[in-house]
Every structure is written in structure tokens, then in C-alpha cells.
Amino acid sequence: MAVTTAPAPAPSLLQRLRRPKPALILLALVWVPLSAYVMFGDALRAIPLGDTTTLRDVVMLPAIPCVVLLYALAMISWRESWVALLGGTLVFFWLFIAVTAPYMPLIDPNAPIKPFAMPFTVTDDYSFVFGTDFKGRDILSRVLWGCQRVLVWGVSATVVAYIVGSMLGLVAGYFAGWWDEVISFIGNVLLSFPVLVLFILILNYLGPSGFNIIIAVTFASAPAIMRIVRGLTLDMKNRDYILAAQTRGEHPLRIMVVELLPNARGPIIVDACLRLGYTTVAITTLTFFGLGLQPPDPDWGLMIKEAINVAKVAQFAYMLVIPALAVSSLILGFNLMADGLREMSLRD
């Protein structure tokens, strides 16, 4: 008598969304519009969609529900660790602000209105919750708008550094031999420079801009990432599933990208969260020194730089403290996410 088994129930929508591919698609739907808005805003403004509407006005609308959905998925997936939940909440808060800032009823962040207005000052036309700076620009508006540039350039620089560092680490660990010696030697030479000195050297030569920050972060971070990925590759390349792929005659590039890299994603994701915090600090510091993101658009590092002299007077310290707290909260979020994800990976 044949025994029949009931078919396995189809996965729910939530289970499907929690898989890597749908989550990556949602992340792309957030990141591509946000990056285009920040990096190519003037070009988008030149594309009309109506009498008064341009592509720049609507490009981030699809990103808003995607951020909310990603946050919900993160809270469900990370519910085992309150540390990861707290860190994710801080990061997603600023990400949500970044994609919704153009649609909030905010004062123009570059408009000089009333210099040195204290927090909670109310005039006939404006209410300054966080006060204004020495040029009369609304600090609340500048803080909320400023998170866009910090997030876009910081995360973009970290992603590029991981692409370069991961590929170098895979090649060095998988092929070993002279490949490993050459790549490791170059990496050790770059690692011998203090990070901030390397940033300053590169940006002094190339000039201060967001795209040059990506180049500087890649040179500074890729060698350390390469060493992490190289170590993971050396540990995994002799495992059975790698030997089976080699027996099937698969191309080394496919083995590295499809077999090795996904199985090393745990430590890489944890390190990426920590490195995002380091990159945020680096971008803020470079902007403070005049080598990072440039005015007039608001940026947290630029706000700190502009307020450093005025904040020596105690009553105007809020001009410095508010953007500094914003930077600290984002960095804290990345660090807590890294700690929570590490905690959950050790349990598994």
C-alpha cells in the first residue's frame, strides 16, 4: 500500500520577505533613490514631470514604504536580541528621516532667517524647536536634512570598500601562493599608514568631495576587509562543498562568489556594521577639517565645524551639541547592531 505524504505548506508572505533576495530588493529600492537624490539631485531636478514637478520631487516616494517594511522585518528577525533591536531602531530612524525629509514641512535648511535664535523660539512665521545658528538657519531642519549626506556617502563608501576588499580576500585565500603574497604585501603597506593620515593624503591630492571620500575609504578600509575575508576563505576552501564544486569543474570565480562568500556572510555583516560606524566618524572628522563634504548643503560634520567657535559661549553650545548627538546616535546604532548580530550568531 503506497503511503502518501501531505505537501509541505507554502511559506507565508512574511517568510518569503525574510529571505535574502527579497530583503536585498527592498534595500535596493531604498538605497538607489536616496543615493540618486543626494548624488545627482541637480540632474534629477532638470527632468520635468509636469508644470511644477520634477523627477527629484518624486524619486524617493517608493523608498518610504520600503524603509517601513525593512524595519518591520528587522524587528521580527532580530527579536532574540534587544541590543540589535535598539541599534536597528536608531539606524532605521535616521534612514526614515533621510527618505522623508523632502516631504516634511521643514524650513529651508539654507535660508538665513533669524541669527542666534534660542531653542523653542517662536516668531510670527516660524517656530525654531532647536533654535538657529549664527547665520540664522534652522538647526532642526539642518539636522534632519544632514543625515542624508552622512548616510549616503558613508554607506556607499563602505559598500565599495567591501566589494574591493572581499574580492581581494577571496583571491588571496583561494589561490594562495604568489597571489596571496602580492595582495597581502600591498594590504600591509596600506595598513602601515594611520587611517586619518591616509585619508588626508588622498583627499589633499584628489580634492574634497563625496566621490573622493569613497576612494579614500576604499584605500583605508579594503586592506583590513581583505584580511578578514582571506582568513575566512582559508578556513573554508578545503570543506566538502568546495571540493564538490571543484570536482564538478565550476569556474574559480563562481566558487568564490557563489560558494565561499555567502557562507562567510555572518562575520562579514557584523564587521560591516562596525565599519559603518567608523566610516561615519571618518566622514564627520574629514568634513570638520574641511576635506569632506562641502557647503552649502547641510551636513553634521559641517554643522559642528561652523559652530565650534560660537559654541565657546555657553548659551550657544546647542549649535554644537545637537549635531554631535545626531552623529553619536547613528554611530551607536551601528555599533549596537553589530553587537546584537554577533550575539545572535554565537547562539546559532
* Mean pLDDT value across residues 93-103: 94
Q: Residue 11 falls within a domain, yes or no?
A: no
Instruction: Find out whether the peptide bond into 296 is cis, omega within 30 degrees of 0.
Output: yes
Q: Residue 174 falls within a domain, yes or no?
A: yes
Q: Residue 35 falls within a domain, yes or no?
A: no
**Is 95 strand, coil or helix?**
helix
Q: Residue 48 falls within a domain, yes or no?
A: no
Q: State pLDDT tens for residues 297-342.
A: 788 988 998 888 888 888 889 999 999 999 999 999 999 998 988 8
Q: State pLDDT tens for residues 202-242.
A: 888 888 888 888 999 899 899 999 999 999 998 888 888 88
Number of domains in the chain: 1
The H or E element that residue 331 is part of is: helix 318-347
Instruction: Please name the residues in contact with 276: beta carbons below 8 A apart, sequence gap of 6 or more.
Output: 154, 155, 158, 334
Residue 302's nearest CA partner among 326, 330, 334, 274 is: 326
**Is 330 strand, coil or helix?**
helix
pLDDT of residue 64: 94
Q: Residue 30 falls within a domain, yes or no?
A: no
Q: Residue 143 falls within a domain, yes or no?
A: yes
Query: Domain of 141?
Result: 107-347
Give the Å distances, CA to CA, from 309 to 119, 312, 320, 326: 19, 6, 9, 19
Q: Residue 132 falls within a domain, yes or no?
A: yes
Q: Residue 318 falls within a domain, yes or no?
A: yes
Q: In CATH, what number is assigned to the domain containing residue 276?
A: 1.10.3720.10
pLDDT of residue 236: 87
Name the DSSP class of 48: B
Q: Is the CB of residue 128 less than 8 Å from the CB of residue 114?
A: yes
pTM of the model: 0.89
Q: Is the dihedral of CA 69, 72, 77, 78 positive or negative?
A: positive
